[in-house]
Amino acid sequence: MAKYCCFNCPKENHSPREMELTEICPDCGMPYGFPLDNMPKEIRNFTVEKSIARGFYGATYLAVSKERIPKQRALKVIPASIYTFFKKNFDKECEEHSKLENEHVA
């Protein structure tokens, strides 16, 4: 169990309790787990094979690139509206992740 931010209508979550993915967002009526249950079939140059997990901001999928020599990857997907709402900088976040030099961090 964890806390989740809705993919459709992001806002702060200061609730002291943890949530279930089946719980419904009070604003849009969608369950917090809908990005996992209704995963995209494709994301840019990747074919999405299965859902892996849901975090506070995003969802992670197992995907395979459509390159001549396909590569399996974990793709973390976060709606742009969440970056805007929480005033996050995508480029800076990617740069910080790359400094970790860890094969498990994209």
Consecutive H or E run containing 65 = strand 59-65
Q: 104 pLDDT exceeds 70?
A: no
pLDDT category of residue 103 using cuts at 50, 70 and 90? low
Question: What number of other Cβ atoms are within 10 A of residue 48's Cβ?
Answer: 16
Among the listed residues 22, 25, 29, 1, the one whose alpha carbon sits nearest the alpha carbon of residue 11: 25
Phi, psi angle pair for 34, to nearest 5°: -60, -30
Residue 105 or 4, more confident: 4
- For the question of whether the overall pTM of this predicted structure is more than 0.85, the answer is no
Give the model confidence (pLDDT) of 10-45 as tens digits: 988 777 788 899 999 999 999 999 999 999 999 999
Displacement of CA 26 from its chain's centroid (Å):
20
Among the listed residues 50, 96, 56, 95, the one whose alpha carbon sits nearest the alpha carbon of residue 74: 50
